[in-house]
Amino acid sequence: MGKTIIISNRLPVQLQISNGTITAIPSVGGLATGMKSVHSGGDSLWIGWSGLTDEEIPKKLAPKIDEALAAHGSSKVNLNAAEVDGFYFGFSNRTIWPLFHYFLEYSEFELDSWNVYKAVNQKFADAILEKADDDDTIWIHDYQLMLVPQMVRDQRPNISIGFFLHIPFPSFEIFRTLPWREEVLQGLLGADLIGFHTYDYERHFLSSVRRLLGMEVSFNDIYLDNRIIKVDSFPMGIDYKKFSEAAKEHQKNTTAQQSDLQQRLNSHKKSTPDAKLILSIDRLDYSKGIAKRLNAFEYFLNKYPQYKEKVRLIILAVPSRSNVPQYQLLKKEVDELVGRINGDFSTVSWTPIWYFYRSVPFENLIDLYTSSDIAWLTPLRDGMNLVAKEYIATRTDRTGVLILSEMAGSANEMNESLLINPNNFEQIADALYEAINMPVAEQKSRNAILQKRLERYNVEKWANDFMSSLQAQKDRDAANVSK
Ligand code: ADQ
């Protein structure tokens, strides 16, 4: 049994350089946590970009960086500023991201950035090939690396390769507009197993394979001349225990131990006992529907004016991809909307929206989840949306209402939440009304079911299911060859 090689755009560690010393800090993100059961001990390696361009790494420190990463089972792919620009900010985030989230009008089809994407994918493939043995298992992640599976397959025809897409795969009618659609599909088909969050994404992908490449597809198998590729859905979970235990600990905090944020949230609740806190947390991304959500909130305040001075919307937006013009425009739009709505509705004792544009530490995330009566997530498209799952996991007394867009992958597994169409303001305003007035017993019975499901299908199970399925695929191939 060989080793496992995981490959993603970014490594699960962050490098910090100060005064000539280097520290590698493990990331706490969902993927890094999820892969813990796969990426542990000495039998796995994670390959990815370190987050620093060649220009940012002082030459004499380069060997030390490699050592620091190796201590975390990681190895870096070197990228210069021009490569990051064309591959990451260019093709990945100006072409694929908008297209796969159905923002066709934002999608740029630039030959130059496509060429950089190809070249950088080859760099990632070369990094794998340099480290991989034939009996290794390779797990490639996400939309930045869709050509890597075939690039590896070309050199190592028998190696086991899995690919997982973290974002939606769009319907054929959208996907077909991509000038390099066949190349992208062929790149993915280098894998033995291709995983998506939902059955719909899987179906869209199979339909594109059939219609654009004319390949034989049966159920969820794609037949090539010499091998069979399996396509399946693996809905990603969260580290349930981490969130629920942090919430339990958090509730034990004495006032002195509480963070400034927790104290403020609590004092707000004490001063206005029938007040409701509505929370939304996302990266600042147009796919998350933040601007529409603000407009819908204004609509709600006008439709149900009795909740003025009673509800407060907390918007926590993490800065993201601020080099891409669409993200800069969105930032401006959200800033202006928050300013206008607060200007129109505020009173001396009430500001309807608290808006934070930053990333917050884990403790504060828990403060927000545990203090909010309602989580309100309205993505226009979202591969999965882990925030919805994290909110439910922290509700240890089972109170709290989740209002979730039906366009999020997680909506498939969270039917007990209030599902809404993010474009339907009437329905959203009514869902907010329903959430505010939902009896506690009903909140608890809905959340009990959700929690049970999330606890069971946690992120570790997700990673293990994917790996077992890849192993089964390898065994099936071996059996076919020996026939
Ligand atoms: P994202 O688009 O980043 O992920 P999401 O799944 O919601 O979206 O994950 C965001 C993560 O960031 C959550 O774990 C959340 O706790 C954290 N986070 C958000 N705001 C934060 C803040 N201000 N401070 C600190 N932490 C914050 C992509 C896809 C998703 C898919 C995931 C996983 O777009 O659809 O669910 O990958 O596959």
Residues 53-109 pLDDT 10s: 999 988 888 888 999 999 999 999 999 999 999 999 999 999 999 999 999 999 999
pLDDT in tens, 229-255: 999 999 999 999 999 999 999 888 877
Closest ligand 1 atom to 388 CA: 7
List beta partners, residue 276.
311
Which residues make beta-bridge pairs with 347?
A: 350
CA 357 to chain centre: 18
CA distance 146 to 408: 22
Atom of ligand 1 nearest to the CA of 382: 35
Tell me phi and psi for residue 118, to 5 degrees: -60, -45
Residue 137 β-bridge partners:
4, 160
With H, G, I as helix, E, B as strand and everything else as coil, classify residue 226: coil
pTM of structure: 0.96
Distance CA 211, CA 172 (A): 8
The CA 316 to ligand 1 mean position distance, Å, reads 12
Check: CB of residue 440 under 8 Å from CB of residue 310.
no
The CA–CA distances, whole Å, from 361 to 68, 325, 387 equal 24, 27, 14
Ligand 1 atom with minimal separation from the 281 CA: 20
Which among 39, 141, 166, 250 is annotated as catalytic?
A: 166
| Separation CA 142–CA 31 (nearest Å) | 11
79-105 exposure pattern, b = at least 16 Cβ within 10 A, e = fewer: beeebbebbbbbbbbbbbbbbbbbbee
The answer to whether the CB of 184 falls within 8 A of the CB of 118 is no
Plot region of 269 (φ>0 → left; ψ -120 to 50 → alpha; else → beta): alpha
pLDDT over threshold 80, residue 405 = yes
Distance of CA 458 to the CA centre of its chain: 15
**Ligand 1 within 6 A of CB of 367:** no
Structure tokens belonging to residue 456 = 């069971």
Residue nearest to atom 27 of ligand 1 (CA): 359
Q: Is the CB of 30 under 6 A from ligand 1?
A: yes
Residue 292, amino acid = K
Distance CA 238, CA 393 (A): 9
Residue 274 has pLDDT above 90, yes or no: no
Q: What's the CA gap between 318 and 308, in Å, rounded? A: 27
Atom from ligand 1 closest to the CA of residue 320: 3
Q: Indicate whether residue 99 lines ligand 1 (CB < 6 A).
A: no
33 pLDDT more than 80: no
Any atom of ligand 1 within 6 Å of the Cβ of 382: yes
Residue of 386, 404, 458 best suited for mutating to test ligand 1, as the one with most atoms within 8 Å of CB = 386
Residue 167 Cβ < 6 Å to ligand 1? yes
pLDDT of residue 276: 95
- Ligand 1 lined by 57 (C-beta under 6 Å): no
Ligand 1 centroid to residue 369 C-alpha, Å: 14
pLDDT in tens, 124-174: 999 999 999 999 999 999 999 999 999 999 999 999 999 999 999 999 999
Taking a C-beta distance cutoff of 8 angstroms, is the pair 369, 195 a contact?
Answer: no
CA distances from 285 to 164, 301, 412, 446 (A): 21, 24, 22, 29
Note if 382 is an active site residue: yes
At residue 474, the pLDDT reads 85
- Report ipTM for this prediction: 0.97
Q: Which residues make beta-bridge pairs with 141?
A: 164
Ligand 1 centroid to residue 384 C-alpha, Å: 9
Query: What is the H or E stretch that residue 377 is in?
Result: strand 374-377
The CA distances from residue 2 to 159, 332, 366, in Å, are 10, 50, 39
222 C-alpha vs ligand 1 centroid, how far in Å? Answer: 31
Cite the DSSP H helix spans in 105-180: 111-131, 148-155, 172-175
pLDDT at 441: 98
